[in-house]
Amino acid sequence: MQTVVSVFGVRPFRIGGTETFARELSRQLGEQNWQSVLCFLEEPTPEVRQFLSLQNVSLEVLADATHFNPAAARNLAKIIRRYSPEILHLHFTGFLGSYVWLARLLGVKKVFFTDHSSRPAAHTLQRAPLWKRAIARRINKPLTKVICVSDYGFRCLTTLDLLPRERHALVYNAVDLSRVSNDADRASQFRCRYRIPEDRILIVQVSWMIREKGIPTLLEAAHILVAQNANAHFVLVGEGAQREQFIADAARLGLSEHITWTGLIEDPFGAGVYDAADIICQLSQWEELFGWMIAEGMAYGKPIVATRVGGIPELVNNGVSGFLVERNNSVEAAEKLMRLVQDSELRRGMGEAGRKQAAEKFDLKTNVAQLVNLYSL
């Protein structure tokens, strides 16, 4: 079988956007009798391994692959020699490195790179200096195509001018709509599992528990909102280096009875996170390249409150499928959340608008087909 090797510089510990993309890519490759080799930083958890187990899939571990280092390069060379792939696709690895040349020297015909990196807060789009452009074009000369997961990401890279514009393509990140089904039983079980009263309106953020994801702003907004409406309840799903500090901050704000910290949930779809949610929140500080959890919430028909940063405005149609607020503005966020908490018809209407947009723009099957078409199998 002809083969595509995909390198993901992530740890496969949950069934998230990366894992669902890897499975759908493998499924579509299998339809064309191609093998899919999926490389992660470590062994997948049993649940993820089972999710990825298709007949044409092989799983490999490529530790420390996020940035070039000799050990990772040697291991990648072994994988390439073992499978002799026609295509290598790099995800969550450094843009500049030796993997592209290594692959071409070992006979790989095409090398793709997908840019997943969010930019710092208030990032300015500008052309790179001449010397940087010259070095980047030399290093990435063998690169077939750079895939951008949002128009914001496309503009970031093409403005830098590190590669000719025609070697970039836009393929949105997307949601596996076949796994989306609103389930009242799952919603009830989720509330029961975390002892959340049935009368609470749930505002959910699924993200890393880090400052860049806007958790401090969310806690300040929660403090304002709960003081006005005791039926509001916040659910924060995820782990992160600053989680314990945020829990302490929430306690100091008197939010302990109105906030639930679930920790990591391996499969938010299967666990009922989106079924139980009434509102999805994402108050990121940095320039999000896409916003996978926003797209997932939209697919479930939930209204969104998110910051006007990076590629998020490409997902949320302000005033139609949700509300966009300014970065670090807890008062504005609380005001928009209050409108949704108090108005079930507004939630329903915005949620339905988001569901339609997700089906039109962020359908995983359709968007992966666009990528496979770029492969020219």
- DSSP state string for 94-142: -SSSSHHHHHHHTT-SEEEEEE-PPBPTTPPP-PPPHHHHHHHHHHTTT
Q: Is residue 276 a contact partner of residue 204, using CB atoms and an 8 Å limit? A: yes
CATH topology of domain 2-174+362-375: Rossmann fold (3.40.50)
Tens-digit pLDDT profile for residues 272-291: 999 999 999 999 999 999 99
Given a cut of 90, whether residue 122 has pLDDT beyond it is no
Query: Does the fold of domain 181-361 match that of domain 2-174+362-375?
Result: yes
Residue 169 has pLDDT above 80, yes or no: yes
Q: In this predicted model, what pLDDT tens digit does every residue of 143-164 receive, in sequence order?
A: 999 999 999 999 999 999 999 9
- Residue among 90, 226, 114, 123 at smallest CA distance from 170: 114
Kindly tell me if the per-residue pLDDT of 68 is higher than 80.
Answer: no
The whole-model pTM stands at 0.94
In this predicted structure, the answer to whether residue 363 has a pLDDT above a threshold of 90 is yes
The helix or strand, by DSSP H or E, that contains position 374, with its residue range, turns out to be helix 364-375
Give the tokens for residue 268.
């938010």
Residue ranges per domain, the chain?
A: 2-174+362-375, 181-361
Q: What are the tens digits of pLDDT across the range 289-321?
A: 999 999 999 999 999 999 999 999 999 999 999
- Domain 181-361 belongs to what architecture? 3-Layer(aba) Sandwich (3.40)
Q: Can you give the pLDDT at residue 82? A: 97
Judge whether 157 and 114 are in contact, CB under 8 Å: no
- pLDDT single digits (tens) 229-257: 999 999 999 999 999 999 999 999 999 99
The pair of structure tokens assigned to 122 is 């208030």
